[in-house]
Each structure stands twice: as structure tokens, then as C-alpha cells.
Structure 1
Amino acid sequence: MKFSHKLSDAIHILAYLAIFQSGDRSSKAIAASIEANPSVVRLLMADLKRAGLIESHPGAADPVLTKAPATIDLLTVFRAVSMNHTLLHIDPKTNPACLVGANIQGTLDELYGRVQAAAEAELARLTLQDVIDGIHQRAK
């Protein structure tokens, strides 16, 4: 199973921009922090720009946050990145002739919907400032 790191990388980019406001904010420098290719960073930054979370200008390595970190909730970041936003996935191919196979998808869909709603509510409560504070605390 392959996992997407887009959300954590997008949060990483935003935290980097907030912490290194006067440092090197090029996609190359941010990519070195994430240990990713600069093109991956540029794609994520395009998502963040479309969502109104950052401002940048072509040819200039000066992206900035458009809002204070305390006002950027992680649900907004989650929704900003281009990815499948469903946290849990159901096997679509089960045996309809079996009692379990015929009913598991609908049952799990309902239960997973509750988990998704709870996760999104928690992401809405958490902010980029919480992430930045955690980074600074762990760095001590």
C-alpha cells in the first residue's frame, strides 16, 4: 500500500515559510528540508497558492504566507492539496453472494464516514501555529 505524504509535506512547506521568513525560501531550499525534489515542492506550493494560503511570484524565490499561522487550520491545508481526501478506503470488490461480502461495503462506508468526520473536525481545530510551536518545543 502506498501512502501519500502530500499533507505532511504541505504543512512542512507552510511551517518552513513561517519560521524562515528572512531565509532562503526557494523551492530548492525547501526541498532540501523535506528531502524531496524541488518540482514536488513547486507542485504543492501551486496547490497552496490556489487555496490562498501562500503568495508567490514567478521567477522570484520569495513565497510568503497570506495569513497568520494561528488562522491557518490543518483542514484547510488538507483540502488544498491535490489528493484523495478519503482517509479510509473500502475494498470495492467483495463477493455479493456472501453475507459478509454483500454487506461489508455499506457497513464500513457508514463507520468510516464517522471516522472521516471526526478526523476533519480535529484537523479544523489544529492550526499551523500548533505545528510551529511543536517544532520549536522539540528543538529545545
Structure 2
Amino acid sequence: MAYSTKLSDALHLLVFVHEQQGSDLTSDAIATSLAGNASTVRQMMGRLRRAGLLSSVTGHARPELARPAANITMLDVYRAVEGDKPLLHLDTHTNPACGVGVNVQLVIGECFDDIQQAAESTMASITLEDIIVRYRQRIAAQL
């Protein structure tokens, strides 16, 4: 089963841009940090720009945060890269003639909605600044 790492990668990208301010930040350089490819990085940067989280000028490898890290939430980033895509997905291929198959999926869907609301509430409370502070603490602890 495939799962999305877009949120993790987008947060990584934003922290990398924040921490490497003033450096040459080509999509190749960012892709190296993500162990991904430059094309995917450019697509992600486009989504982040459209969401007002990242600013950059075509032809200049100097992207920067479009607003302070304390004003960017994990939910902002999630919505930028995943849109309205839910975290959890129902199995829609159950037998429609089976009372359990139909009704249990509806109940599970209600539970998934509760989980989505709780996750989004938590993501809204975590800022990029929080992630950067914890990242720096982890680095300092390794010294």
C-alpha cells in the first residue's frame, strides 16, 4: 500500500530553506537533502508558493519563507501539498449486499472524520517555528 510523504517532504523543504538562507538553494540542492528528484521539488515549491508559504523568483536560486515560521502551521503546509485529501481512506469495494459491509464502512467513516478533525486541530497548533526549534535542539544535543 502506497502512502504519501508530501507533508513530511514539504516541511523538510521549508526547514531546509529557512536554515540555509543566503545559500544557493537550487531544486537540485534541495532534492539532494530530500533524497528525491529536482522535478518533484519544483512541483512542491510551486504548491507552497501558491499557498503563500514560500516565495521565489524564477531563475534565482534563493527561495525564502513568504511569512515568519511562527505564522506557518503544519496544517497550512498539509493543505498546500495535500489539499482536502483525508488522512485515512475507506475501503469502498465492500459487498453492497452485505449489511455489515455497508454499515460498518459508514461507522468507520464517521470515526475517520473524528480522527481527521483531531489531526487537523493538532496540526493547526504546530508551527514551522516549533519544528525548527526542536530540530535545532536535536542538533545541539548531538554535539
**Above 0.5 in TM-score?**
yes
> Residue 101 of structure 1: CA displacement?
0.6
* 2:121 maps to 1:121: yes
Q: Give distance in 2, aligned partners of 1:56 and 1:132.
A: 21
RMSD: 1.2
> Residue 56 of structure 1: CA displacement?
0.8
Q: Deviations over 1:63-121 (max 9, x none)?
A: 11111101100101000014662111110011222231120121111110000000000
Q: Is the 8 A contact 1:76 1:124 kept in 2?
A: yes
TM-score (norm 1): 0.95
TM-score (norm 2): 0.93
Which residue in 1 is equivalent to 2:61? Answer: 61
Letter of the 1:70 partner, please give it. A
Gaps (5+ residues) in structure 2?
none
Number of aligned pairs? 140
Within a 5 Å distance, the mapping from 1:1-140 to structure 2 comes to 1-82=1-82, 85-140=85-140
Which shows bigger deviation, 13-22 or 112-121? 13-22
Q: Give distance in 2, aligned partners of 1:83 and 1:38.
A: 22
Q: Is the 8 A contact 1:47 1:82 kept in 2?
A: no
Q: Give distance in 1, aligned partners of 2:37 and 2:83.
A: 18
Q: Give distance in 2, aligned partners of 1:32 and 1:135.
A: 19
> Residue 26 of structure 1: CA displacement?
1.2
Q: Is the 8 A contact 1:78 1:85 kept in 2?
A: no
Letter of the 1:20 partner, please give it. Q
Gaps (5+ residues) in structure 1?
none
Identical residues among aligned pairs (%): 45
Q: Give distance in 1, aligned partners of 2:91 and 2:3.
A: 16
> Residue 2 of structure 1: CA displacement?
0.4
Name segments (4+ residues, structure 1) moved above 4 Å.
none
